[in-house]
Amino acid sequence: MVVSSLKNYSTSEPQVVNINKNNKEVKFRGPNQNGQIQIYKSSYRGSYSSIIRDSLRNAALGRKVLLVQLMKGGVRQGIANAQKLCGNLTWIRSSNSYDQYEPEEIINNKNLAQSINHCVNELWEFSKKELLSGEYDQIILDEIFLAIEFNIINKDDLISTLENRFISGDVILTGTSIPKNFLLMADQITELRS
């Protein structure tokens, strides 16, 4: 099911650049500052293979894509060991994550829990910088809502970053439980069912 929110857009003309070439005035419209916010919701984790497939296709077509899997870990991953695919896709996973341990291990080991939270926060700070830089054509923040649910990432920080982002492409956010604030911000909401 796809639900799109309705937004009121200004009826005034978008940014227009006037160029005078050989006494002929040509008008060029500047690109919109920000692309869409797309939310993918699923009742279970690991159901976003279509997003990963689309990110690979976009990268192969020449778009610069950043895929950050905040809650999934990998061997020797993290920002320093980002994977580059198709020349344009930067894929980063947490260097230490909840998926790598049994829940009891994390509950009983405060240092391990702090280390995992630190790694997720490191990815978030990197992602935030990229959202504000305009360097990428598409940014995917996989399971960011789970990081909010676990109180690793502050919900208001994400809202503020999304409101101030500078990316001409889409920002894709995924999760199983989506706070209402984000549903209201979204241009497109897709609910994946099994």
pLDDT averaged over every residue in the chain: 81
pTM here is 0.78
Max intra-chain CA distance, the chain: 75
pLDDT of residue 22: 58
Class of domain 32-192 (CATH, top level): alpha beta
Helix, strand and coil percent figures for the chain, each rounded to 5 = 35, 30, 35
Q: What is the pLDDT of residues 33-67, one digit of tens each?
A: 578 999 999 877 766 788 888 999 999 999 999 99
**For residues 91-99, average pLDDT:** 86
Alpha-carbon torsion 51, 56, 62, 66, what sign?
positive
**In this predicted model, which residue has the larger pLDDT, 98 or 19?**
98
Encode pLDDT of 144-167 as tens digits. Answer: 999 999 899 999 999 999 998 987
